[in-house]
């Protein structure tokens, strides 16, 4: 079974995946081999931007970026620029 990624409360994202993947509720099951193909088409360089621009990181080929796996450690900023303190709660 392909790997699944949940797109919670994000129907627009689900619609983007609809023609290429199997979708179960909010879970998109990505077929084997599709993720590396999509990554190969990404524009480079990609920047991980920080609140302090001096700490911005360029993410490019052969560079590994190890973010926290449980989400942002301090503050999260949404697409509209609104900031909120990160929590472990699931809404």
For the chain, percent of residues with pLDDT exceeding 90: 25
Task: Read off the pTM.
Answer: 0.49
Per-residue pLDDT reduced to its tens digit, 13-38:
999 999 999 999 999 999 989 988 98
Q: Which residues contact 59 (CB under 8 A, 6 or more apart)?
A: 45, 46, 47, 48, 65
pLDDT of residue 80: 77
pLDDT above 60: residue 71:
no
pLDDT of residue 72: 54
pLDDT of residue 69: 61
- Interatomic CA distance for residues 3 and 50, integer angstroms: 30
């Amino acid at each position: 079974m392909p790997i699944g990624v949940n797109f919670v409360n994000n129907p627009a994202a689900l619609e983007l995946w609809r023609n290429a993947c199997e979708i179960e509720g909010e879970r998109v099951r990505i077929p084997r081999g599709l993720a590396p193909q999509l990554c190969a088409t990404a524009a480079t360089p990609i920047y991980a931007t920080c609140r302090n621009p001096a700490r911005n990181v360029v993410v490019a080929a052969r560079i590994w970026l190890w973010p926290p796996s449980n989400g942002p450690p301090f503050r999260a900023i949404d697409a509209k620029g609104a900031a909120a303190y990160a929590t472990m709660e699931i809404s």
